[in-house]
Amino acid sequence: MPAMTDPTIARAVLAHLTTPGNRHIHTLVHHEGPLAVLRRLLTRDLPAAAMPAPVGHLSTVDEGQVAKTVIADTARLGARIVTPHDAEWPTGLHDLATAGHTADGVDLPAPPLCLWARADRPLPDLLHRAVAVVGSRSATSYGQHVAAELGHGLAEQGWTVLNAGGYGIDAAALRGALTSGPHAAVAMPACGLDRLHPVGNRPLFDRLDLISVWPPSSDPSRTRTMLNQTWLAALTCGAVLVEAAPGRGRGILARALALGRPAVAVPGPVTSGLSAGCHQALREEPRIRLVRDAADVIAHITPPTSRPGQDRDFVTTWEPGWVALPGVGGRYPALVADLTGPQGWPIARFTADTIARIAADCDAHAARVGEAVGTTRIRLVDGTVRQTERAGTPTESTSTITAYVDGYYLLDGWSWQVTDPPPA
């Protein structure tokens, strides 16, 4: 079937047949390419952990028909499929390649195989200054007012508001952002773009740019909602909790912190049960900061070493725990790790000749797995870097790495991790 020579369509079909975020599928696709993994899936030649449950239906799957359906549904929705090998793939999702779990032990999913986007602008334009503003669906008038003010204030300063588009705080923040401009609000629902939920927010969704990890025909579910929180956090520069009942609403904050993003919460009346969750988060997690308005949010989520005129892909990284493994186009970092060695290279060593060598190596790797390598970009990093062995035991040597190319995947068991930045 001609469609199955296209790795983008193969990724979309895999997303349709498996659960997005499966780390075993992600690793196999990275090493073998989506076409090979799809063939192995349909012949049940994958490890048990990578197989969907139940597996009986795979024997009757017509991959060509699934591909036709995915292509037709995507076109009908006015959407496009975006993969990690496209220039507009959001680089924040790469942080999930080597992410482990939250502080309370919740395992984080792998990056999705692809995204469905219904947006006029390229995703980096929408998301390079995105903030997740979330909270209770049963919001009070106070919470909705604060969320709308936050949305408007952030959008006025050039930030994008992102959430799942639910009732209450989500909708109020998105509507507030829209008062500043048509592309200041993005929804990422936990369902396919043809199953937008909640139904009562359909008129709002019609005004928003939309992104989904879930293929068309995917209905909303609690499991998808929980997974969606991690991808939402990965796409943002930070997360804001406006209102939440006790024990609720902290999921996205925990996931943001696990990914090195700032997390903040808005206080409310001590008599309000829907502010108790925010107060609990502030009390129990010292890394969560209290904010009152958009100015406070921006102050907390903007890296203090950011330079005027630079976007987030080209600023000095300051958050502890960010992965700093060199990579090219977000795909084949170990090739750069081999070139740099355990001591890393200073930024001056990343010359045009070096980049050409890296690109050539990646092209050779890409040819083997059937996918192209995307754009190479340099990000500056300050901090102590420790190389971690396959078994997870740190080596004795540490060094300071001052540059890496966007993207980082755990390849052959190696990773680099930035610890606390060195003293000034």
Q: From residue 142, how far is each of 49, 145, 146, 147, 275 by CA, in Å?
A: 46, 5, 6, 9, 10
pLDDT band at 338 (very low <50, low <70, confident <90, very high): very low
Q: Which tokens sit at 388?
A: 């971690």
Pairwise CA distance, residues 256 & 78, whole Å? 30
Mean pLDDT within 226-233 = 96
In single-letter form, the type of residue at position 378 comes to I
Q: How much of the chain is helix, strand and coil, in % rounded to 5?
A: 40, 15, 45
Pairwise CA distance, residues 398 & 379, whole Å? 20
Pairwise CA distance, residues 236 & 133, whole Å? 10
pLDDT band at 371 (very low <50, low <70, confident <90, very high): low
SS (H, E, C) 182-203: CCCEEECCCCCCCCCCCHHHHH
pLDDT exceeds cutoff 60 at 76: yes
DSSP line for 61-130: --HHHHHHHHHHHHHHTT-EEE-TTSTTS-GGGGGGGS--B-TT-PBPPPPPS-EEEE-SS-HHHHHTTE
pLDDT exceeds cutoff 60 at 366: no
Mean pLDDT within 98-115 = 85
Percent of the chain with pLDDT over 90: 54
Q: What's 317's DSSP letter?
A: B
pLDDT of residue 306: 37
pLDDT of residue 83: 94
**Range with the lowest mean pLDDT among 23-32, 58-67, 108-117, 403-412?**
403-412
pLDDT band at 369 (very low <50, low <70, confident <90, very high): low
pLDDT of residue 354: 44
Pairwise CA distance, residues 86 & 124, whole Å? 11
**Range with the lowest mean pLDDT among 16-30, 66-80, 266-280, 391-405?**
391-405
More confidently predicted of 378 and 141: 141
Q: Which tokens sit at 8?
A: 């983008």
Highest mean pLDDT among 8-17, 22-31, 60-69, 355-364: 8-17
pLDDT of residue 360: 56
More confidently predicted of 421 and 190: 190
pLDDT exceeds cutoff 80 at 63: yes
- Residue 288 sits at φ, ψ, to 5 deg, of -85, 125
pLDDT exceeds cutoff 70 at 407: no
pLDDT exceeds cutoff 80 at 179: yes
More confidently predicted of 301 and 172: 172
On average, the pLDDT of the chain sits at 76
pLDDT band at 60 (very low <50, low <70, confident <90, very high): confident
pLDDT band at 20 (very low <50, low <70, confident <90, very high): very high
pLDDT of residue 41: 92
Mean pLDDT within 39-60 = 80
Angle between the N-to-C axes of helices 222-234 and 251-258, in degrees from 0 to 180, rounded to the nearest 10: 40
More confidently predicted of 136 and 362: 136
Are 242 and 232 in contact by the 8 Å Cβ rule? The answer is no
Angle between the N-to-C axes of helices 141-156 and 169-178, in degrees from 0 to 180, rounded to the nearest 10: 40
* pLDDT one-digit tens code per residue, 194-218: 999 999 999 999 999 999 999 999 9
**Range with the lowest mean pLDDT among 65-74, 90-99, 123-132, 308-317?**
308-317
Mean pLDDT within 288-314 = 68
Percent of the chain with pLDDT over 70: 69
pLDDT of residue 399: 31
Nearest residue to 161 (alpha-carbon basis) of 142, 138, 178, 141: 178
User: Domains, the chain, ranges and CATH?
Assistant: 2-76 (no CATH), 94-111+123-301 (3.40.50.450), 312-418 (no CATH)
